[in-house]
């Protein structure tokens, strides 16, 4: 069963309809939010959304990889990886019974 992903444009449409802001204003807010989260993660700061989840980074240790074509070992340096940890509230909401809510009817279009 293939499910269509909700895109950034879909999110902008939903927020614009719900707030009365224009799509351009809403897109600027969404872009600002993404930039703020990205910059905080780059600095190593976690970003918490109570009831939704937490964005943070984990340090991946350096390791030795292998080129699959030639078999030559390649060093892979340590790096920070962004991670999202879901809150208990969101996990319970997603796993709970589905209630058809007018607030989310835009997603069903």
- Residue 92 and residue 62 share a domain: yes
Look at strands 79-86 and 63-66 and give their pairing. unpaired
Does some domain include residue 103? no
Whether residue 64 sits in one domain with residue 36: no
- Residue 44, Ramachandran bin (φ over 0: left; ψ between -120 and 50: alpha; else beta): left
Shared-domain flag, residues 56 and 82: yes
How many domains is the chain partitioned into structurally?
2
pTM assigned to the model: 0.77
Domain containing 75: what range? 51-98
Spell out the per-residue pLDDT of the chain, length 109, in tens: 577 888 999 999 999 998 899 999 999 999 999 999 999 999 999 999 999 999 999 999 999 999 999 999 999 999 999 999 999 999 998 898 877 665 555 554 5
Please report the beta strands in the chain, taking only residues with DSSP state E, as ranges in sequence order. 47-49, 53-60, 63-66, 73-76, 79-86
């Amino acid at each position: 069963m293939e499910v269509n992903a909700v895109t950034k444009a879909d999110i902008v449409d939903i927020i614009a309809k719900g707030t009365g802001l224009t799509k351009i204003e809403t897109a600027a807010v969404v872009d600002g939010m993404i930039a703020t989260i990205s910059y905080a993660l780059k600095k190593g700061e976690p970003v918490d959304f109570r009831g939704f989840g937490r964005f943070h980074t984990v340090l991946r240790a350096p390791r030795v990889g292998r080129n699959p074509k030639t078999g030559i070992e390649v060093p892979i340096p340590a790096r920070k990886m962004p991670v999202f940890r879901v809150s208990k509230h969101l996990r319970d909401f997603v796993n709970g019974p589905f209630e058809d809510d007018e607030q989310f009817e835009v997603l069903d279009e």
